[in-house]
Amino acid sequence: MDPKASIVIVNWNGKHYLDACLSSASNQTYKNFEIIMVDNASTDGSVEYVQEKYPSVKIIETKDNLGFAKGCNVGIRASNMPDYIVALSNDTRVESNWLEELVKVAETDERIGICGSKLILMDTPNIYNSAGFFIIWNAFIYDRGPGKKVGRYEKLERVDGVCAASALYRKKMLDEIGLFDERFFFGHDDVDLSWRAKNAGWKAMYVPTSVCYHKMLGSVKGKKLHDQSNIDAVWVISKNSNLLGMAGIAVYYFAGMMKAIVWKSFRKDKDYKPFWNALKAIPDEWKKGRPYREGRRIKLHDE
């Protein structure tokens, strides 16, 4: 029997995206899968819509908006003991062989823990959203997709990590390294998970034959999003980097934080405390990340 996959979709007031997402995810050439939708306390009728139009979808309703990481973990824990977990954003549309291509690559090597799709911007389908990322100098994240024309990254290859808008995760790997870090409300959760997997000796693959169109930030709003993203970046790097990388990123972020403080003061906006809190958290996060960093130095398999 083919390996079983659980597709986990986290939704918050995304009813207007769900038809494209669920209709395409439901009609796959690969058949051994279930779809779980975690609804983060939507108020737009999302749950009722899915119950009526997609009765086979398993729905889990939360009392509050848990964000992506915690919401996805709820779905993972509710999955029916699958071989693979597939995270899929609610504002996506996938090709009919999308899941088959991910599973096919994962099955070629038991040490492949992560497979990411070719993510294309839904509104400008000649531009990548993401084609996997690399960790430079053990500190900086290089996402090679954004803004690049489709056709540039069409080769199956190993990367350091992938975007969780469309990503397959081996259940065995998640059992070993843990699920998404629930401290991340939106963003960097996939970077953290990919980095932890890399540190523990798991492989990540970019699979261009698995195609996913992404609306991007479909149901995420708020002027604090950019600030929170910077804070999350500090957390993920301090958890997973080494001393040299930490020193470089500390200088980079300190300069960035100082610039933000000056800019906010100029605008008479005194809300720079989150940045300061993020910097203060570095020592604690450095200590917390020790087991993951040590995992990088342990040979778990033959390269």
Q: How high is the pLDDT of residue 42?
A: 97
Confidence label for 272 from pLDDT (cuts 50, 70 and 90): low
Mean pLDDT over each residue of the chain, to the nearest integer: 87
Confidence label for 302 from pLDDT (cuts 50, 70 and 90): very low
Query: Beta partners for 119?
Result: 130, 212
CA distance 251 to 233: 14
Q: How high is the pLDDT of residue 271?
A: 55
CA distance 21 to 126: 20
Q: Is 290 left (phi over 0), alpha (psi -120 to 50) or beta?
A: alpha
Q: Which residue has the higher pLDDT, 116 or 259?
A: 116
Query: Beta partners for 149?
Result: 127
Q: How high is the pLDDT of residue 226?
A: 56
State whether residue 31 is helix, strand or coil. coil
- 161 DSSP 8-state letter: B
List CB contacts of 258: < 8 A, sequence separation 6 or more. Answer: none
Q: Which two tokens stand for residue 231?
A: 């804070």
Q: How high is the pLDDT of residue 137?
A: 79
> Whose structure tokens read 């823990």?
113
Confidence label for 275 from pLDDT (cuts 50, 70 and 90): low
State whether residue 127 is helix, strand or coil. strand
Rounded to 10 deg, the angle between the 273-280 and 225-240 helix axes is: 10
Mean pLDDT across 132-140: 87
The residue type at 186: F
CA distance 6 to 252: 39
Rounded to 10 deg, the angle between the 15-26 and 98-106 helix axes is: 60
CA distance 51 to 8: 16
CB 176 within 8 A of CB 200: yes
Q: Which two tokens stand for residue 37?
A: 């939708």
Q: Which residue has the higher pLDDT, 97 or 187?
A: 97
CB 241 within 8 A of CB 282: no
Which residue from 214, 174, 154 is spatially nearest to 14, judged by alpha carbons? 214
Q: Is the overall model pTM greater than 0.85, yes or no? A: yes
Domains assigned to the chain: 5-214 (3.90.550.10), 225-296 (no CATH)
Q: How high is the pLDDT of residue 273?
A: 65
Which tens digits make up the pLDDT trace of 199-242? 899 999 999 999 999 997 644 445 455 556 667 777 788 788 88
Q: Where are the beta strands (DSSP E) in the chain?
A: 5-11, 33-39, 58-61, 84-89, 92-94, 112-121, 128-130, 133-136, 140-143, 157-159, 166-170, 203-214
Which tens digits make up the pLDDT trace of 235-271? 788 788 888 877 777 777 677 767 767 776 655 554 5
Which tens digits make up the pLDDT trace of 53-112? 999 999 999 999 999 999 999 999 999 878 999 999 999 999 999 999 999 999 999 999
Q: What percent of the chain has pLDDT over 90?
A: 63
The number of beta carbons lying within 10 Å of the beta carbon of residue 286 is 17
